[in-house]
């Protein structure tokens, strides 16, 4: 499959040049670059024989129907099932070109390879390019997969972007009509599952000298916003002992969070953004807003860590004469992958790579949302230095080729097993 692997690498490079910001890769929810990305990937879907549509929230959906033999034998009560493959097409700011995009482009190339071989599948396949997973334009993550699974709520539509546009306004401007959150795109019983290919975003595969590995579960995650409020004052005339410095309180908390999580692996806690509204070089900060992201493979451990960190932030605020506000913006439970789908994926990994490795994903993925609709499985691909959410993010062509072989093998084996069951 050398040609297919080369095509996959070329297409990822081409898609990586579709951006809203010259000089760096950034694609956010329903932005002009997202529209261009959908058009480009949609063209590749059509070339692979998929029927393409885009829903009101900008999710790109390519569908390959089940092979004609099964359709001819299907009845109204036993219609062909559907396998879902995909990931997201949005990015963080100044992103790498593999996160998300790999999980959309690779299945298209895999289906095109099966078509070239004359292989038909006894089930339908939908390749999904979700419009938003990264929560860059709006604070709520997984907007695309939430809409697809019927989990987008009226409250989500009140979210605002940096220009004070609500999510509802942005969707309706895109769709051209009044928007009501839809029901799930499929009934659970009509689906075989959802499989996502993603770079690992960590160093384990590289350490083990393996191209790919199988995900066993996605870690529990809580994300929110802490606001420390004190009193602004003149930097030259307010004595140090009379200050109520919100930024100093935030700094103390950041260091505490780092030390607390550092002593309790596999817990991780991250402050990724810090804002000082009305900040100036000669003004004591009166308000500081920071993000907090806490993750752990175990739900209970994650919840206890969040509770402890917020309690410490409150203690810091009291000692410094500050007030504290906590706003949770996202929470998802630890999400196990399907034992059956994972075993099938593991079988293909062993067939292609010779050995397999199970990993827990510390990163969140659309699979978290999709798991409420259908069983999920994930394939991780080695990335250099474990680096992600960075322009130097890189997966080697040889590793992409292995992942592509695994997907083709997985689809062929699943088709054979499914055909035997239908017998």
Residue ranges for the binding site for Zn(2+)? 88, 99, 134, 198, 389
Task: Pick out the residues of the known binding site for allantoate.
Answer: 223, 282, 295
What number of CA atoms fall less than 13 Å from residue 344's CA on the CB side? 24
Give the burial string for 388-413 (b: 16+ CB within 10 Å, else e).
bbeeebbbeeebbbbbbbbbbbbbbe
Task: Decide if 221 contacts 364 (C-beta within 8 A).
Answer: yes
- CA dihedral sign of residues 174, 177, 179, 183: negative
Q: Cβ contacts of residue 182 below 8 Å, gap of 6+?
A: 55, 56, 147, 150, 152
Q: Say how far residue 281 (Cα) sits from the centre of its chain.
A: 38
Task: Pick out the residues of the known binding site.
Answer: 88, 99, 134, 198, 223, 282, 295, 389
Question: CA geometry: angle at 171 spanning 50 and 366, to 5°?
Answer: 55
Neighbouring CB atoms inside 10 A of 322's CB total 24
What is the torsion angle, in degrees rounded to the nearest 10, for the CA atoms of residue 305, residue 309, residue 312 and residue 316? 170
Between CA 203 and CA 317 the distance in angstroms is: 37
Question: How far apart, in Å, are the Cα atoms of 367 and each of 110, 144, 320, 325?
Answer: 20, 12, 42, 31
């Amino acid at each position: 499959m050398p040609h297919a692997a080369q095509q996959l690498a070329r297409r990822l490079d081409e898609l990586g040049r579709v951006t809203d910001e010259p000089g760096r890769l950034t694609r956010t929810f329903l932005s002009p670059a997202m529209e261009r990305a959908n058009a480009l990937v949609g063209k590749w879907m059509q070339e692979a024989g998929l029927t393409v549509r885009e829903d009101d929230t900008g999710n790109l959906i390519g569908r390959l129907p089940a092979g004609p033999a099964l359709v001819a034998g299907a009845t109204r009560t036993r219609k062909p099932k559907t396998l879902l493959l995909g990931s997201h097409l949005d990015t963080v700011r100044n992103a790498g070109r593999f996160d998300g995009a790999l999980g959309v482009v690779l299945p298209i190339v895999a289906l095109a390879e099966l078509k070239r071989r004359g292989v038909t599948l006894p089930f339908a396949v939908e390749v999904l390019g979700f419009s938003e997973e990264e929560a860059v334009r709006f604070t709520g993550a997984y907007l695309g997969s939430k809409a697809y699974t019927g989990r987008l709520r009226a409250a989500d539509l009140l979210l605002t972007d940096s220009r004070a546009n609500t999510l509802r306004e942005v969707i309706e401007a895109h769709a051209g009509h009044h928007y009501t959150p839809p029901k799930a795109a499929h009934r659970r019983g009509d689906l075989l599952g959802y499989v996502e290919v993603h770079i690992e975003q960590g160093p384990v595969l590289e350490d083990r000298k393996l191209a790919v590995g199988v995900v066993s579960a996605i870690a529990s995650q809580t994300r929110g916003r802490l606001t420390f409020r004190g009193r602004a004052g003149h930097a030259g005339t307010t004595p140090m002992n009379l200050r109520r410095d919100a930024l100093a309180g935030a700094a103390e908390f950041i260091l505490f969070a780092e030390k607390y999580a550092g002593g309790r692996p596999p817990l991780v806690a991250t402050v990724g953004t810090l804002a000082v509204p009305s900040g100036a070089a000669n003004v004591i900060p009166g308000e500081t807003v920071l993000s907090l992201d806490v993750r752990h493979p175990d739900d209970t451990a994650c919840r206890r860590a969040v509770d402890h960190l917020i309690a410490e932030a409150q203690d810091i605020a009291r000692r410094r004469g500050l007030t504290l506000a906590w706003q949770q913006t996202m929470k998802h439970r630890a999400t196990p992958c399907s034992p059956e789908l994972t075993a099938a994926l593991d079988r293909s990994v062993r067939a292609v790579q010779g050995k397999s490795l199970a990993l827990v994903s510390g990163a969140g993925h659309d699979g978290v949302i999709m798991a409420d609709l259908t069983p999920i499985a994930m394939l991780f691909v080695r990335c250099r230095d474990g680096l992600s959410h960075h322009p130097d993010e890189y997966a080697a062509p040889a590793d992409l080729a292995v992942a592509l072989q695994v997907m083709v093998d997985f689809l062929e084996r699943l088709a054979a097993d499914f055909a035997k069951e239908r017998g």
